Structure 1
Amino acid sequence: MAALLSGAVLKGKEPDVILRQALIDPRVYANPDAAIDGPALVRLVRQIQFSLDDVYLGFLAQGCRMALETERLLSFLNCATFGEALRVSIRFTDAMSTDVGPGITEEHGSGLQHICKYQTVPGVDRDILVWIRFVWIYHLFSWLIGRPLALREVSVRAPRPVQRNGFDRFALFRCPVRFDAPVDALSYDFSDLTVRLVHGSIQEYEDYYASAPDWFAAPAGEPSWRERTQQVLVDLQKAGLWSAPIEVVAARLRTRPRRLRHDLALEGESFQDIRTRLRGELASAYLLASDTPVTAIGFALGFSEPGSFSRHFLAWAGMAPSAYRSAFSGDATKIAAATALLKERRIS
């Protein structure tokens, strides 16, 4: 709580006043064990922003006035897709300041890495700013496309935070989190970049925040066709059907194969790509989270020939199975993610 208000305090604002205006009991400010819920977090962040007329909560030497934030929103609300909106938003931020603003780089084979660079002033908790900005970005763009973004990874330069109440503030992103990373970044899935926006006006944006969304919960929205298709394929894989045809999956989803292809295409996805990716993810997880021989992994994933498994894995990962295991055998983050994946899919 005190960390979020540190920029406002440096600017001479009274934390008790801001907390009351956000409908939060001021006593939580001095209580390290106190907690607030997701809607209260939204109210607090918004109240700090409006009190300072600064999107960045007073954490940066050169802030961003709320009027400029409105202009930035207008610059991408009328974009067609998430990828276009992301690039327009970043270009707008970079144009406002060379010191404050996200950068964008291509990350080979895994998606788009959105690098955020914040030069904070002394006396504030930079790590809490990075987290709250990532929360805002994640929820904003999830709202824009009408469903949760499929983040591949969150990277933060800070060590894993330890809170006295045991709360994991990074759990809401629902993806692997890499701490002590070289950059602060969100890694998006390429398939999300072509998803069309479902909201396009400032009034809708204001109505959304007026509803006090819960920033600690998953963004609202019905499961996407990609998510539904993935779940059916995972269930079929658990039953040993590794290359289920689209007719089988469509039947389980109570739709037609042609319609499923169409709905997936609208989300920038294809049935074949989902099926291939899920199989490749499992292969990668087996290689890092077990000592199972490469040949045995191939057989376990439904490949009748070792050479066929090696060829497919080379297409998935850009390297042979043995080379992949050797390259990442010391990567604790990847091993942890692989172990979690096998546990999630209940595969030993």
Structure 2
Amino acid sequence: MGKRTITVHHVRAVLRGAERAGVDTVPLLQAAQIPPLLLGDDRARVTSVQFARLFRALYRTTQDEFLGLSATPSRPGTFAMMCYAALGCPDLGRAMERGTAFYGLFDGGPKLSLTHTPTEAVLTVHNGLGADEDRFLAECVVIIWHRLCSWLTGSRIPLHWAEFAYPPPPHEAEYGSLFGCPVRFGAARTAAGFDARWLSAPLVQDEASLDALLRRAPFDLLTRREYDTTVAEQVRRSLAQALRASPRLPSLTVTAARLAVSPATLRRRLERENTSFQQLKDAVRRDAAIAGLAEGREPIAELAARLGFSEDTSFHRAFRRWTGTTPGAYRVRAAGHGETPSAASSGTPSGTPPPPAPAAPGANPRQ
């Protein structure tokens, strides 16, 4: 419970390269236990386990680290060699410079640069990566580099901002939570900024830890959110942990006390991040509901009660508001693909963080 779900927009985007290559993606979706019909609903979401299966299936099918999304493929092992090259540097700044230079050797790959002032460092992606019409690959480059840097230093590196050289997509609300910082579209470049002092941070990883990371990369780096950089993320994590223990989620006052701030301060900080305590509660329940329906056999009535809904009808109304379908219809779609829930791979990392969901009219979860 508490695993974040992933918007269907990202599912569509990650399939584009294989589709352009003439690959029949329906069997890949079915193997990942993602109902193909979900791709037609803009409100649909999938679990991180489902997305992990799809991502890995696409990697095996395309034999391309860019999943066919760039004009030029990246052979398997390229990212690993870049990591090994960067690992020999004494600090993060030189590791980033070596890594950006490494990818500059390949036509069609990401053209990156690292610039900095005394106070701020900026990683810039200078090209649109060819056929990446959804900009999924360009966004992944920023995310993976940021989280790789955090992993290399063994510390959370908060981003100051992220900006993108294209108009806001329909799923714009995803990005603040995804990057953990203010996000702007329609900018002159695609880039992200962070405190320049991190450039002098020593690397704390070695080849043994890198080998372990590479067994899960790049998916872990793309989806793990262990470096909470926003108040909303801290609140969401606290609520998800509470929901594991009880369907009665803590109040704003209780949660504020756990975070050592006043309720008014917590409310203001969430407002600055364009969300609210109630929206985060709804998002936590929504993601737990989707995970329970997609990967478990728990009766819907029991799932509703476990998530804090006093009546089945309240749960049905809320779920339809969140996803555009009913709990029963979602379970039927997810169950018809041959692989049982027990066949899911264990240890799958948390998914891309979703935006806070609006409160569902008629929903009546116990507080």
Per the normalisation by structure 1, the TM-score is 0.54
In the alignment, the residues of structure 2 paired with residue 37 and residue 110 of structure 1 have an alpha-carbon distance, to the nearest angstrom, of 39
In the alignment, the residues of structure 1 paired with residue 191 and residue 224 of structure 2 have an alpha-carbon distance, to the nearest angstrom, of 21
In the alignment, the residues of structure 1 paired with residue 130 and residue 180 of structure 2 have an alpha-carbon distance, to the nearest angstrom, of 30
Alignment of 1:199 with 2:195, yes or no, is no
In structure 1, the residue matched to 2:165 is 157
In structure 2, the residue matched to 1:180 is 186
- Superposed displacement of residue 129, structure 1: 2.1
In structure 2, the residue matched to 1:12 is 22
Alignment of 1:112 with 2:121, yes or no, is yes
Instruction: Answer yes or no: is the 8 Å Cα contact 1:42–1:214 preserved in 2.
Output: no
Letter in 1 for 2:110: G
Deviations 1:64-111 (A, max 9, x none): 1112222222211333322222111101000122x4333325343541
| 1:152 partner SS | strand
Instruction: Answer yes or no: is the 8 Å Cα contact 1:37–1:216 preserved in 2.
Output: no
Aligned pairs for 1:70-109 (under 5 A) are 70-97=80-107, 99-108=108-117
Instruction: Answer yes or no: is the 8 Å Cα contact 1:155–1:185 preserved in 2.
Output: yes
What are the ranges of 5 or more consecutive residues in structure 2 without an aligned counterpart?
1-10, 230-367
Aligned pairs for 1:181-330 (under 5 A) are 181-201=187-207, 202-209=210-217, 213=220, 215=222, 218-220=225-227
Instruction: Answer yes or no: is the 8 Å Cα contact 1:111–1:187 preserved in 2.
Output: yes
In the alignment, the residues of structure 2 paired with residue 160 and residue 111 of structure 1 have an alpha-carbon distance, to the nearest angstrom, of 25
- Superposed displacement of residue 221, structure 1: 8.6
In the alignment, the residues of structure 1 paired with residue 119 and residue 184 of structure 2 have an alpha-carbon distance, to the nearest angstrom, of 15
Instruction: Answer yes or no: is the 8 Å Cα contact 1:153–1:175 preserved in 2.
Output: yes
Deviations 1:40-83 (A, max 9, x none): 44443343233212122212221211122222222113333222
Per the normalisation by structure 2, the TM-score is 0.52
Alignment of 1:143 with 2:144, yes or no, is no
Alignment of 1:68 with 2:78, yes or no, is yes
Query: RMSD value over aligned CA atoms?
Result: 3.1
Q: Rate the CA distance shift 1:215–1:106 in 2: closer, same or farther, 3 A.
A: closer
Structure 1 residue runs of 4+, over 6 Å off?
none
Q: Rate the CA distance shift 1:221–1:116 in 2: closer, same or farther, 3 A.
A: same
In the alignment, the residues of structure 2 paired with residue 68 and residue 191 of structure 1 have an alpha-carbon distance, to the nearest angstrom, of 29
In the alignment, the residues of structure 2 paired with residue 104 and residue 73 of structure 1 have an alpha-carbon distance, to the nearest angstrom, of 16
Instruction: Answer yes or no: is the 8 Å Cα contact 2:80–2:214 preserved in 1.
Output: no
Alignment of 1:51 with 2:50, yes or no, is no
Deviations 1:209-228 (A, max 9, x none): 49x74855633599xxxxxx
Q: Rate the CA distance shift 1:16–1:43 in 2: closer, same or farther, 3 A.
A: same
Q: Rate the CA distance shift 1:216–1:96 in 2: closer, same or farther, 3 A.
A: closer
What are the ranges of 5 or more consecutive residues in structure 1 without an aligned counterpart?
223-348
Query: Who wins on radius of gyration, i.e. which is larger?
Result: 1
In the alignment, the residues of structure 2 paired with residue 156 and residue 204 of structure 1 have an alpha-carbon distance, to the nearest angstrom, of 32
In the alignment, the residues of structure 2 paired with residue 195 and residue 23 of structure 1 have an alpha-carbon distance, to the nearest angstrom, of 42
- Say which of 136, 142, 153 aligns to 1:134: 142
- Higher RCO (Cα < 8 Å, 6 or more apart): 2
Instruction: Answer yes or no: is the 8 Å Cα contact 2:116–2:196 preserved in 1.
Output: no
In the alignment, the residues of structure 1 paired with residue 189 and residue 103 of structure 2 have an alpha-carbon distance, to the nearest angstrom, of 18
Deviations 1:291-317 (A, max 9, x none): xxxxxxxxxxxxxxxxxxxxxxxxxxx
In the alignment, the residues of structure 2 paired with residue 187 and residue 102 of structure 1 have an alpha-carbon distance, to the nearest angstrom, of 17
Matched residue count: 218
Q: Rate the CA distance shift 1:116–1:43 in 2: closer, same or farther, 3 A.
A: farther
Identity %: 21
In structure 2, the residue matched to 1:287 is none
- Superposed displacement of residue 29, structure 1: 3.1
In the alignment, the residues of structure 2 paired with residue 215 and residue 37 of structure 1 have an alpha-carbon distance, to the nearest angstrom, of 14
